[in-house]
Structure 1
Amino acid sequence: MTPWCLDIGATPVTGGVHFRVWSPLADSVEVIRCARGEEASCPLSRVGEYFQGTIPGMGPGDCYWYLLDGTLRRPDPASRCQPGGVHGPSQVVAPDSFAWADGQWRGVALEELITYELHVGTFTPEGTFGAAVERLDYLQELGITALELMPVAEFPGSRNWGYDGVFPFAPHHAYGGPDGLKSLVDACHRRGLAVILDVVYNHLGPEGNYLHAFAPYFTDHYRTPWGDAVNFDGPGSDGVRHYVIGNALHWISEYHLDGLRLDAIHGIYDFSAGHILRDITRAVDSLARHLGRTVHVIAESDLNDVRTIAPPESGGHGVHTQWCDDFHHSLVTLLTGERNGYYADFGLFSHLEKAFREGFVYSGEYSRHRRRRHGSPSGDQPPRRMVVFSQNHDQIGNRALGDRPSTRLSPEQLKLAAGAVILSPYLPLIFMGEEYGETAPFPYFTSHGDPALVEAVRRGRREEFAAFGWEAEVPDPQDEATFRSALIDPELRSVGWHQQVFSFYREVIRLRRQLPSFRRPEREEIQVTGLEADRVVVVRLCRGQAELVVLFALAETSCRVRLPFRHGRYRKLLDSAEPRWGGPGALAPEALDGGDEGIGITLAPFSVVLYGRDRDDRRRNGGPMPTEEG
């Protein structure tokens, strides 16, 4: 039996459908049933701030509207399905009708997440949940352990990034609707893949947003860059919080999802004593325990506020992990030399060294981009509290042309970036196509129906990039060709340098999954050394008697460095410069032997090299684990 059921919206019951809607702003609410071209209305009864009632004769598949005060016809704020889009009627869905085959599924542990972010509409030519199922074997071959879907809640038109959604409970009809998403999740679980969904709780899109007529879902006390802020702490906010927490639990209970990625929490404003992030996470944790499954709550935040991931007992919100933009910015600026916009805060070698060591680079220092001090220290947080990446939808799509790193970086640099992310102590995330060097752009695209809104979006994109310092002509978001340009082609993975990059990604992921030291490393097990003169970062993972050493060489030419390792024999496990990965030839030896003066090693330009020392090596050579001071 499901331990939690959605208590708002339309729910089939014996003999009919039960309706419940939060609508304190209305004096009366009726349900208008649409069947066979005819309409019939039935009033609901007020119970506190809600209207509810059971209508006999209705069932799954029936469409309906709410009629407010006899004049306003509106879709259901908690609609489970919008078959005609955001402006059409809602449809009754039976939440328990899908034949799940994942009864033994228990999820993927946080420390085992290797996440693949994808956009359903551009992941396949068909752009549907069903078509995505056909590519799951490919993702399993790659070695990832979790899919992360960009938002799928009903949005205007048929093509959109998903952050303009206006029906948070309804999977987009063009993607395949409720059953399509359930089929995708079920298919993933059969292959041992978790599914994480990107959800947007900081705003709703402008087109098709009919919530204002029902209740005080929004507030003008705060402003977001995307529209009205959601009312989490003002008058009437109890109903809003119930709606949002119910949405989080709905995805986990009805769709068997394994995690939620909370979009842009810096746009969630809540100054109440119990922050909504804490309440969402507590509710998700409680439901997960009832279900006997592992479920993750992941935040996207540019605040560098450690309270997001700190446990409640130490004053935090207790979110399980969060995206770490600082790692991306530190890595990309060193590889590309870009310094526009927020990249102005990055570009020093010491930034990347600190990102590897602590996560947040800005932990109270002055930010030139923000013109103030920024961030709080994160060095005492376990590395699994951070998700890192060299690409994601934002860092590509929020460029003027949506161009990918593969159009600006060499294959050697792409492999170095992959190694830095996947062999870091943090949780790695890959953006679709990255694994073989996809060259198709990922620009921002929409299919709004409101001409004024279309023009406003066009103008806003142009102004945004002018302020960022990009002079390129921004692709028209509304043009279908912009959307079509973003379709990826995984068949590239079998051609030329793409094949070598793909093979390298597979190997790096395999090593991450195989080597125990990459699983749940603690801060005290990690040593980071920056050799700035040589532009080399050394990351050592020391667990028990085993040790891994990862060398990241960011220099444009080969370099000779000395490592302060005086004991043990190290075997090479990976070298991105090897010809089998398309490299110029390995310079690092197959094995290293520590001596009184440390170890000298030559590294190829833009390379990543991994060495390991196992228990047998340690017992043979004796002596304590070497320290940074050596």
Structure 2
Amino acid sequence: MKPLGATYLGDGRCLFNVWAPRAKSLAVSLLEPREKTVWLARDERGYFSGTVEGAGPQSLYYYVLDGGKVRPDPASRYQPEGVHGPSQVVDLQSFRWSDHGWRGLPREKLVFYELHVGTFTPEGTFEAVIPFLDELKELGVTALQLMPVAQFPGSRNWGYDGVYPFAAQNTYGGPWGLQRLVDACHRRGLAVFLDVVYNHLGPEGNYLPDFAPYFTENYRTPWGAAVNFDGPGSDEVRRYFIENALYWVRDLHIDGLRLDAVHAITDKSAIPFLAELTGEVHREAVRLGRQVYLIAESDLNDARLIWPRELGGYGLDAQWCDDFHHALHALLTGERRGYYQDFGELYHLARAFRNGFVYTGQYSAYRQRRHGGPIGPCRPLQFVVFAQNHDQVGNRACGERLSSLVDFEALKLAAALVILSPFLPLIFMGEEYGETAPFLYFTSHTDPRLGEAVRLGRRREFSSFNWAEEVPDPQDEETFLRSRLRRELRQQGRHRALYELYRELLRLRREHPAFSDPRWENMEVTALGARGALVLERWGGGARAGIISSFRREPSCAVLPLSPGRWRKILDTAEERWLGGGSSVPAEVFSAGEVELALPPLACILLERMEEG
């Protein structure tokens, strides 16, 4: 089967292949190195293909449909002039990779660091990230999670308005910049995950409907017509997105894909697209001899996404767990607007620890119906948890980070609960030192009407939260500039102490034997609502750890369940080392099944049980 797009064959020859059943004729119009038009042959399924002489790397081209419409390549690998400009032939095979021994990371070692390439550094490029990789590794991060990089309009965007799924954003450095970043990560033992969007394309520069039935009016999404995954022509639509996933894995050496908002993919076929995608990617990983993961984002609390195929699941490797975030956020901030009205009690957080999801079929006041389903055969390492991410920060009216909503003690408590959980932790860029710059929603659409529609849409989005603040204009460049990290904060006072705490927590997660076997059977959690405390015990490798979290705003005394034995304190976020107000929890405690402790406010205490004798 011929690959989609422009495949450079060497010696100035290029194979072009595009699915365009809506066209009767189609030609490649070369603009450089010299103008030339070549008509392509059509097959019975609507693919136009042909080998063109004089088309090498750097050649610019358009497709001409029926002698009239001039369009970029739907499978373009590079858009040097943006979403409306010509596509460019690239030769990615000439890149000299240095990661030949790289096989990926085992699941239990994954610690994600989500970043937006455009705001992570002042330069806003792939290569500008490279100087910070050693710092991230020293922190304890093992995997970069890049927000979408597929070509979007202009130079400022979260990435979810991408319209060329195969083309790495030109202002970020294109596919070559991404190759260099991935190679640099692998040299340091860091994996790279990429956020991909298969539920919609952005509104500007989306020319796919001119070529083929990529979309269907049978279903609607928040962005308009749904991607056609189960109607006439859907076999080829599936192939387009599956080939895209394989492209990132094979040609860019990406270690995993985060599939955006899969709840917006409507597919009633007997073999769902997500299951087919998972099978193809896993087979490619076996062929390459590498570990490759697929991680879903979904708000359905449907664990079948990560159930094994033989048990009726889709077979994905993991999924993001918003419930954990919501339970923790509501406790720390006291917010009860929007979906936070379903959370706010300690037992919600305890349920998140026990199940991943809080709602597994119970009634949701926010949704006014039952929500979620049973977790079945899932394991903790199939859930990605976080105290912050791009959605939970950026989808606030003013993009406030947790550091702007809670005090320093609460930030430390949040860090400990995420990192010492049995789940896969994710850190949002800057979180590790308490970044205070907001992460706002920003765009740079060239169509003024579209820009105004985005402004109005953002205001409507917050209606259920009743946020009265004026929503910053996404089209204003200042909105983007305000969202850049201010990394100099890391060296200052509490920011420095928080960074050191993150590093210590990640070291403990990595090295302490009690955290070596993250299974439901190897943990026990107790919520003590009246006492404002949560006790989590984890064990493995012949060791046992007790994680005691106090959510009260003032010092308190509580009798807590704790397995019998002598316990040694190994971390206390209230201690002066972490710029806390001091702690009265002793260095050693004895439990006969319960222990009475004087707990500092908003603190996390980590104990390890001492061996007898």
The corresponding residue for 1:181 is: 178
Superposed CA deviations along residues 461-484 of structure 1, whole A, max 9, x for unmatched, are 112223420000000000000000
Give yes or no for the alignment of 1:333 onto 2:335: no
Query: Which of 9, 30, 36 does residue 13 from structure 1 map onto?
Result: 9
**8 Å contact 2:307–2:377 — kept in the other structure?**
no
Query: Which residues in structure 2 correspond to 1:614-629 (within 5 Å)?
Result: 617-618=611-612, 620=613
Q: Tell me the distance in 2 between the aligned counterparts of 1:6 and 1:308.
A: 31
Q: Tell me the distance in 1 between the aligned counterparts of 2:239 and 2:333.
A: 45
Query: Which of 239, 244, 252 does residue 242 from structure 1 map onto?
Result: 239
**Which segment is superposed worse, 554-563 or 110-119?**
554-563
Give yes or no for the alignment of 1:371 onto 2:364: no
The corresponding residue for 2:42 is: 46
Call closer, same or farther: CA 1:419–1:351 in 2, change over 3 Å.
same
Q: Secondary structure at the match of 1:571?
A: strand
**8 Å contact 2:15–2:50 — kept in the other structure?**
yes
**Which segment is superposed worse, 558-567 or 597-606?**
558-567
Superposed CA deviations along residues 254-306 of structure 1, whole A, max 9, x for unmatched, are 00001000000111111101111111111111111111111110000100001
Give yes or no for the alignment of 1:445 onto 2:442: yes
The residue type equivalent to 2:67 in the other structure is G
Q: Tell me the distance in 2 between the aligned counterparts of 1:390 and 1:564.
A: 26
Deviation of 1:379 (Å): 6.3
The corresponding residue for 2:410 is: 413
Superposed CA deviations along residues 442-468 of structure 1, whole A, max 9, x for unmatched, are 010000001110010011111222342
**8 Å contact 1:205–1:227 — kept in the other structure?**
no
Return 5+ residue gaps in structure 1 as ranges. 621-630
The residue type equivalent to 1:598 in the other structure is E
Query: Which residues in structure 2 correspond to 1:126-165 (within 5 Å)?
Result: 126-165=123-162
The residue type equivalent to 1:46 in the other structure is R
The residue type equivalent to 2:477 in the other structure is E
Query: Which residues in structure 2 correspond to 1:495-534 (within 5 Å)?
Result: 495-534=492-531
Q: Tell me the distance in 1 between the aligned counterparts of 2:565 and 2:100.
A: 47
The corresponding residue for 2:609 is: 613
Call closer, same or farther: CA 1:407–1:192 in 2, change over 3 Å.
same
Q: Tell me the distance in 2 between the aligned counterparts of 1:220 and 1:520.
A: 47
TM-score by length of 2: 0.98
Deviation of 1:530 (Å): 1.1
Query: Which of 355, 359, 362 does residue 356 from structure 2 map onto?
Result: 359
The residue type equivalent to 1:195 in the other structure is V
The residue type equivalent to 2:157 in the other structure is N
Q: Tell me the distance in 2 between the aligned counterparts of 1:560 and 1:342.
A: 32
Compute the RMSD of aligned alpha carbons: 1.3
Deviation of 1:39 (Å): 2.2
TM-score by length of 1: 0.95
The residue type equivalent to 1:353 in the other structure is A
Query: Which residues in structure 2 correspond to 1:319-330 (within 5 Å)?
Result: 319-330=316-327
**Which segment is superposed worse, 219-228 or 540-549?**
540-549
Deviation of 1:25 (Å): 1.1
Give yes or no for the alignment of 1:492 onto 2:489: yes
Query: Which of 94, 99, 103 does residue 97 from structure 1 map onto?
Result: 94
The residue type equivalent to 1:603 in the other structure is L
Deviation of 1:380 (Å): 4.4
Q: Secondary structure at the match of 1:568?
A: strand
Deviation of 1:603 (Å): 1.8
Q: Secondary structure at the match of 2:495?
A: helix
Query: Which residues in structure 2 correspond to 1:282-361 (within 5 Å)?
Result: 282-361=279-358
Q: Tell me the distance in 2 between the aligned counterparts of 1:492 and 1:107.
A: 33
Q: Tell me the distance in 1 between the aligned counterparts of 2:8 and 2:223.
A: 35
Q: Tell me the distance in 2 between the aligned counterparts of 1:517 and 1:95.
A: 44
**Which segment is superposed worse, 525-534 or 260-269?**
525-534
**8 Å contact 2:516–2:540 — kept in the other structure?**
no
Q: Tell me the distance in 2 between the aligned counterparts of 1:77 and 1:472.
A: 40
**8 Å contact 1:381–1:523 — kept in the other structure?**
no
Query: Which of 532, 536, 543 does residue 533 from structure 2 map onto?
Result: 536
**8 Å contact 2:514–2:541 — kept in the other structure?**
no
Q: Tell me the distance in 2 between the aligned counterparts of 1:188 and 1:549.
A: 34
Q: Secondary structure at the match of 2:527?
A: strand
The corresponding residue for 1:599 is: 595
Deviation of 1:381 (Å): 1.6
Deviation of 1:587 (Å): 2.0
Deviation of 1:593 (Å): 2.2
The corresponding residue for 1:120 is: 117
Q: Tell me the distance in 1 between the aligned counterparts of 2:349 and 2:466.
A: 24
Q: Tell me the distance in 2 between the aligned counterparts of 1:361 and 1:427.
A: 17
Q: Secondary structure at the match of 1:594?
A: strand
Give yes or no for the alignment of 1:192 onto 2:189: yes
The corresponding residue for 1:479 is: 476
**8 Å contact 2:92–2:176 — kept in the other structure?**
no
**Which segment is superposed worse, 197-206 or 559-568?**
559-568
**Which segment is superposed worse, 133-142 or 471-480?**
133-142
The residue type equivalent to 2:472 in the other structure is P
Return 5+ residue gaps in structure 2 as ranges. none
The residue type equivalent to 1:485 in the other structure is R
Give yes or no for the alignment of 1:465 onto 2:480: no
Superposed CA deviations along residues 413-448 of structure 1, whole A, max 9, x for unmatched, are 000001111111111001001000100000100000
Deviation of 1:533 (Å): 1.2
Call closer, same or farther: CA 1:174–1:213 in 2, change over 3 Å.
same
**Which segment is superposed worse, 393-402 or 465-474?**
465-474
Deviation of 1:568 (Å): 2.5
Deviation of 1:227 (Å): 2.6
Deviation of 1:601 (Å): 2.1
Among the aligned pairs, what percent are the same residue? Answer: 57
Call closer, same or farther: CA 1:13–1:566 in 2, change over 3 Å.
closer
The corresponding residue for 1:628 is: none
Superposed CA deviations along residues 93-150 of structure 1, whole A, max 9, x for unmatched, are 1121111111111111112111000000000001001111121122112110000000
Superposed CA deviations along residues 298-353 of structure 1, whole A, max 9, x for unmatched, are 00010000111111111111110000000000011111111111111111221111
**8 Å contact 2:535–2:561 — kept in the other structure?**
no
Query: Which of 190, 213, 229 does residue 210 from structure 2 map onto?
Result: 213
Query: Which of 275, 278, 299 does residue 272 from structure 2 map onto?
Result: 275
Q: Tell me the distance in 2 between the aligned counterparts of 1:566 and 1:471.
A: 48
Query: Which residues in structure 2 correspond to 1:577-592 (within 5 Å)?
Result: 577-592=574-589
Deviation of 1:519 (Å): 3.5
Deviation of 1:371 (Å): 1.1
Q: Secondary structure at the match of 2:217?
A: strand
**8 Å contact 2:517–2:541 — kept in the other structure?**
no
Q: Tell me the distance in 2 between the aligned counterparts of 1:80 and 1:121.
A: 20
Superposed CA deviations along residues 564-600 of structure 1, whole A, max 9, x for unmatched, are 44532222121101111111112222122233x6322
Superposed CA deviations along residues 344-389 of structure 1, whole A, max 9, x for unmatched, are 1111221111111111111111111111111012264210111100
